[in-house]
Amino acid sequence: MILQDYLKSIKNMKENDRELSHRPALENFLKALKNELSSKHKDFEKLNIKHEPNNKEKFGMPDFEVTRADLLVGLIENKRINTDLKSIVQSEQIAKYMQIKDNIILTDYLHFSLVRQNDKNQAKIIKECKICDFNALKSLANAKSGGHLEDKEKELLELFELFLSYKPKPITSALEFASALAGRTRNLRGSLERCEQEAHIKGLYNTFKRELYEKLEFSEFCDSFAQTLTYSLFLAKLNNNNNEKIRLSTAADFIPNNFPLVQTMSEFLRKLDKVDIKWLLEDMLYIINHIDTASIIKELNKTFEKDLSGIPTTALHKDPYLHFYETFLRYYDPQLRELRGVYYTPASVVNFIINAIDSVLKRDFELSGLSAALDNENITLLDFATGTGAFLLEAFRKALGDIEDKNSTRCEPKKLLTRFFGFEYLIAPYTIAHLKLHQSFKEEFEQPLEDEERVGIYLTNTLYFKDIKQEQNDKSNIHDSEHPELIEEAINAQKTKEKQILIITGNPPYSGASANKGLFEDNIRITYGLEPESQLNEEQQRLIKRYLNAKDSKEKPKDYLSLKTTFKKAFEKNKLKDEKNTKWLLDDYVKFICFAESKIKEQERGIFAFISNNSFLDNPTFRGMRYSLLKSFDAIYILDLHGNTRKKEATPDGNKDENVFDIMQGVSINIFIKNTSCNDSLASLYHYDLYGKRKDKYKFLYENSLDSIEWKELNPQDPFYLFIPQNDDLRAEYEKGWSVKDMFRVSGVGITSAHDNFVIDISKEKLLQKFESFKRSSPNANELYKTFGVKEKKGWDILQGWKNLQNQNDLSKFIKKIAYRPFDFRYIFYERKLVWRCVEDIMKHFLQGENQALIVSRQSSAVGDSEINTIAITDKMVDINFYRRGGEQVMPLYLKNTESPQNKSSKILKNTQEREKDAEKGGWVENFTPEFREFIDKKYNEHFEPLEILGYIYAVLFHKGYRERYLDFLKIDFPKVPFVDSKEKFLELSQLGLELIDVHLMRENRA
């Protein structure tokens, strides 16, 4: 009997034996079961059960593969005896394997479980067979045949018949194809991450890091490399004209020579000795070998047509490769897509922008449009965030499409190879872009690229600059490098960055927190981080330019520290005032805009045409950026596409407004034109609002041009230089009011705990019990983090807080009330080493007696709301996220007899009567600025109590007429309050405001 022979071979097994100890016996048993079943299923004879004995990587690959030819039929994972297989089913390891094959057997030698996916895509045991308990192994192995052994053998054969009969579902759609490759690529990335010390991978990583971005993390490299290997196989398939079977050892041979970087990286496929990587790639290669690429491309083209249904497509070209990449990325890593801002730019958007460039060249530059690049080597174009090459390809088409005679000597598309360029940071879209242009030259332009010809798309970080001399030195040592193509790529990219570029276009990434930490940040600070109209003299500008150029160079000039000091002094003197958080200026799309502006500003003329996040149009923090753009260009066109779902934007008639992308942030198309070498005036600014459904916006963009739109000319004004329309007459009226920021001497943000669940609770008693327990705990940081559910935070030491409590007898004194959210009052353990930011300069004024504070935000609505809801009152300390995402300013009514570090003058109270009032309040002084107090006293010829003034302010801020009339202004800055001329009206509104304050503080009205 097969089973009895197997049991005899493992009967001397010990419970602590390693799982590998009896693997040969298991392998023989599995093959015997297969052979037994082959008499009934002839096709089983073609099955191969392959053991991977060298698999020592954690979760690297399963122990056995069952294949038919190159097709993976199933996986077998072997564990040591008495392992709990049910718990293994839900493990990370099995989840990983399930992405490769939904047909797995788990065994601990005596227990066999067949695992498949259920309808919720979860691993589930569908059939199992337990031969015997471990303590019965020897007796059963020595038992006579028949009875229990026969029953168990029959049961096992039924289980393996089900396992080996598995028919994988054929991949017939682009969606299935992309999903299959994405899952395997994700696992490939994980396997590569475990190979950091492997010499070949380590060498390639170090070259990438040196040439692409010195702060490149190994995990980022593994992500890029995994995608590169996947797309290398796909590219090989697309270039397999003879339908030969592609193998890992031959894949690189199918990649054209004009894909040098992809080709050299794919050479890795020939050198594979890591089995856990090899089996993934072989499985991927089987899928690619058996896919019908023609049907996949046909389906992707249908997807394109569906996206544009109802829109004439005669001038819009299909883009199957782009749609495939979009689908792949959606399955592979949607977070990566968001982080890097990788989003398919709709064809109508690309078409509109390229047509606009062509129009500007004809109208403003008196050229023949983009076709002028065929005759003039100075007509250069750069897509600074190429992605899959949509803008670049459309530029090629536009330049060639204006030539009526295709046999003309002017119709030479290859001339544009040295005039149209692209930069891309991610390897997968870089590969797709090359593929797309390569295929277009072959099929559409009918001039296939020769081996030595390539398109000017370079793998580089647009924002990363290297010393070209150092690059040339690296090139001279190229024979010492395993990867000379990467160095050559970096040299070509750097040379392009140093060229004069007439036209810059594209769709820059937008990810609130920059994915390019440290890059281009000083450039942003000294251009967009300054107050409008800040004046840097020519010498300062010269020295700062030298500093920025030298900053990332290995060889610093002798006066580098002096240059750095000049930079810092200029920035500190002129930086944006009253801006506590300027991080949004470091968004990647802002950095890309700054890159483009800095290049064109150095030239006599240029065009910058792109689509981007539209928050720079009206965000107050971006006023320096808007002013800089107005100074650098002669004409600016803003086509605001809106679509901000966070703000719940709607059309003017109240209908739904949709984004042209699958994102929440609104966007705009921006055309910036410079056509003079010197211009002291601000640019002419033109604006158009486009609301509505996505399809209607696509249609509008296709049917209109830069010249056909009825633009509204704007007159941007100090201090914000807004790029959106405003009622100038109403603005003048609104500006007469007092900004709340100018009323109060001292203001600041709320408390940042950094771990609310630790220091904040709705129950005072529970909070006290928690910290009494915390105080009694052992001084072990790891145990404290774990016991109290606290995440570690850089720069914060939980032990410091623990130490501070050891000599405290009464912990209740640390528990204070806090306004956590509107009408949500809680308790906080207010200890300076346990709370991340206590903001004591503000909060101390709530700890020594009764006080009140106005809470306002710079923008009138919390994110995700359309109504004004960022004005409130508090008599308690306030949390930083009172309005969900922070941003509020807390403005106390009184200060507790102390000098504010923001204003050292304590001479607020000017007469004896005021000093007496101050004494009666026990050392409190009002927080109004001297200028504001003087204004109120003179206007009404009376000295009102601070609370009376606060009541008036609060009443106005909640007045329906005020909110509706000044809504557009309230959206962009701290509210300005108008003051009525009538003293009686002032007091009437003040009383209403005081009543409203009592309601909002949830207390009874005062007598």
pLDDT in tens, 736-764: 999 999 999 999 999 999 999 999 999 99
* pLDDT score, position 767: 96
When pLDDT is cut at 50, 70 and 90, the band that residue 92 belongs to is confident
pTM assigned to the model = 0.76
- Bigger pLDDT: 71 vs 889: 889
- Cα separation, 853 vs 950, in Å, equals 9
Residue 492 token pair:
């070509």
* pLDDT score, position 552: 75
CA nearest to 900, candidates 925, 882, 933, 870? 925
* pLDDT score, position 314: 44
The percentage of residues in the chain with a pLDDT greater than 70, rounded to a whole number, is 88
Contact 395, 515 (CB under 8 A): no
Q: How far is CA 276 from the centre of its chain?
A: 30
Instruction: Report phi then psi at 372, rounded to 5.
Output: -60, -25
CA nearest to 355, candidates 656, 719, 692, 637? 637
CA distances from 903 to 220, 692, 899, 907, 967 (A): 48, 49, 7, 10, 32
State the chain's mean pLDDT as an integer: 86
pLDDT over 50 (residue 393):
yes
Average pLDDT over residues 825-835: 95
Residue 928 token pair:
């109004």
Average pLDDT over residues 623-643: 96
- Cα separation, 998 vs 1006, in Å, equals 8
* pLDDT score, position 414: 93
Q: Where are the beta strands (DSSP E) in 647-752?
A: 667-674, 684-689, 712-714, 738-739
Helices within 921-982 (DSSP H only): 930-940, 946-957, 960-965, 967-970
pLDDT over 60 (residue 310):
no
User: How many C-alpha atoms does 16 have within 13 Å on its Cβ side?
Assistant: 0
Average pLDDT over residues 872-901: 82
Which one-letter amino acid corresponds to residue 468?
A: I
When pLDDT is cut at 50, 70 and 90, the band that residue 157 belongs to is very high
Average pLDDT over residues 668-681: 87
* pLDDT score, position 190: 85
Contact 424, 457 (CB under 8 A): yes
Tens of pLDDT, residues 338-388:
555 455 788 899 999 999 999 999 999 999 999 999 999 999 999 999 988
Sheet with 853-857: strands ordered across: 871-874, 853-857, 888-892
* pLDDT score, position 340: 53
* pLDDT score, position 315: 42
Q: How far is CA 692 from the centre of its chain?
A: 26
* pLDDT score, position 402: 65
* pLDDT score, position 910: 40
pLDDT over 80 (residue 55):
no
When pLDDT is cut at 50, 70 and 90, the band that residue 877 belongs to is very high
Least confident of 642-651, 708-717, 736-745: 642-651
When pLDDT is cut at 50, 70 and 90, the band that residue 866 belongs to is low
- Cα separation, 798 vs 87, in Å, equals 35
